[in-house]
Amino acid sequence: MIHSALLPNALGEDGRPATLGVMGGGQLGRMFVQSAQEMGFVTVVLDPDVASPAGAVAHHHIRAGYLDEQGLAQLMQRASAITTEFENVPAAALLTLGGQRPVAPAADAVAVCQDRDAEKRHFRGCGVPCAPWALLETAEQLAAVADELLPGILKTARMGYDGKGQIRVADREQLAAGWAELGGVPCVLEKMLPLQREISVIVARAADGAMVNFPVQQNLHRDGILAVTQVPAPDVPEALQQQAVQCAQSVAQSLRYVGVLCVEFFVLQDGSLVANEMAPRPHNSGHYSIDACDVSQFDLQVRTLAGLPLVQPRLHSSAVMLNLLGDLWFDAQGAERSPPWPQVLALPGVQLHLYGKAAPRPGRKMGHLTVTAADAATARDAALQAASLLGLAPF
C-alpha cells in the first residue's frame, strides 16, 4: 500500500505524534523501536511475552497473540503504520492489519518468505540462481526424489530458522529417516553444494519503488547460527558483490516489496553465486550498520514504513560483528557467570549491544559486539582480541 509520509511530529487524531507499530517483540523489534524513537515517533509493540525486549522499551506493549482479534484491533487503533520483526508472524494477521493500515512488508511478500518452496520458486522466477531442490509433501514424492539431489539437506518448508528444522542426508535411507524425524511435515530437499563462503545483502525498498542497499556482508555460521560478519567483505571479488546486490534488488523488485529485506547467498567453490534464503526484515548480519554506517538497517525500516525518503547508506568504518549467545554466560561446568565486559570494552572501537533478555540460555541470542576501525585489518585484530577474551573461536 502506498502511503504519504508520516512525519514524526505530525499529530494524529489523538493529538500525539505519529505512532509506528511492530508485530513481534524480540531484539529486532527492540532496535526498530529505538530507531523510531530517535526520530520522534511513538511506538507500539504487539507480543504475547510479558518480558518482551521490544515491549520493555516501547511506549505501548500490547500483550496478545499474533492472531488475537482484540490485540490486532488495539494495534490498528494505536498505530498509523505497522511492520514486523520476524518472518513467522502469521501472514493472515498482516493481511487483517493491511486492510486498515499501511503494513510493510505486505502479507503476500511475507508469505513467500515463510515457505521454502515458494521462496525458491520466486528466486527462479526472477532469474536468481539457487540450489536444485524438490518439494516433499507425500510418501510418493519422497520415493520419487531424483538421485542427483543426494546427498542433500532436508529442511522443513515452514518455520525454520537458525539451522532449526534441517537435517543432512547422504542417501535415501537417511532421507526417509530424516523426514520421519521432522514429523512428516512438508519439506524441501536441497542438493548439497560445495561451499566456499556465505554472504548476505540487505536492501531497503520504498513504496514508490526507490531502492538502496548496504555493502555485501561476509558471514560465518557455527551450528547454523550466525557467528561473525565482516564488512567490507574481505574475500569476495567486486564483480561477485555487484551480482549479489543485483540479485537482491531483483528479488525485492519482483515482490513489489516495501521494507528492509535480506537475501543470503552461498559462494560456491567454483566462484559462482546461489541464493540460500531471504528474510523479510532487518537481519542479524546487518547489526553492524548501527555503528558503522550513517543510517542503520533499522533507520531504513522506519523510513520505508513511514514513507520517508531513502538514502544510500554510507559505510564510514570497517566493521566486524560478533554474535553473543547465551553460552557465554556459563563456565565449562555449567555455572552461570558474567562475561568479562570490562576487558572487552577496554579494546578500541568496541560497541556492546545487549538485548535486555531476562535469562541467558545456550544458543539464545543475547546481544552482539560491533568492532569498528579505519581499516579492515585493525577492526579484525580488535575483534579477534575480543573473541579470545570471551572464549569464542577465532575466525
Q: Which position has the grid cell 567486486?
A: 238
355 is in an annotated binding site: no
Q: Distance between CA atoms of 23 and 374, rounded to whole angstroms?
A: 37
367 is in an annotated binding site: no
Q: Distance between CA atoms of 364 and 361, rounded to whole angstroms?
A: 5
Buried b (16+ CB within 10 A) or exposed e, 281-307: bbbbbbbbbbbbbebbbbbbbbbbbbb
278 is in an annotated binding site: no
In this structure, the number of other CB atoms found within 10 A of the CB of residue 92 comes to 12
Decide if 203 contacts 261 (C-beta within 8 A): yes
343 is in an annotated binding site: no
Burial (0-12, 13-18, 19+ Cβ within 10 Å), 138: exposed
Closest CA to 299 of 288, 291, 307, 290: 290
164 is in an annotated binding site: yes
Which DSSP category does 333 fall into?
A: T
99 is in an annotated binding site: no
55 is in an annotated binding site: no
162 is in an annotated binding site: yes
381 is in an annotated binding site: no
Q: Which position has the grid cell 534488488?
A: 249
12 is in an annotated binding site: no
365 is in an annotated binding site: no
141 is in an annotated binding site: no
Closest CA to 144 of 153, 155, 135, 152: 135
String of DSSP letters for 53-85: HHHHHSSEEE---TT-HHHHHHHHHH-SEEEES
276 is in an annotated binding site: yes
Ranges assigned E (strand) in 270-314: 273-279
287 is in an annotated binding site: no
Q: Distance between CA atoms of 368 and 321, rounded to whole angstroms?
A: 7
Q: Distance between CA atoms of 183 and 315, rounded to whole angstroms?
A: 45
Tally: H helices and E strands in the chain: 13, 17
116 is in an annotated binding site: yes
98 is in an annotated binding site: no
Residue 166: all three cell numbers together: 534441517
Q: Distance between CA atoms of 5 and 106, rounded to whole angstroms?
A: 17
Q: Distance between CA atoms of 211 and 205, rounded to whole angstroms?
A: 4
Residue positions forming the annotated binding site: 116, 155, 160-166, 190-193, 198, 221, 276-277
Residue positions forming the annotated binding site for ATP: 116, 155, 160-166, 190-193, 198, 221, 276-277
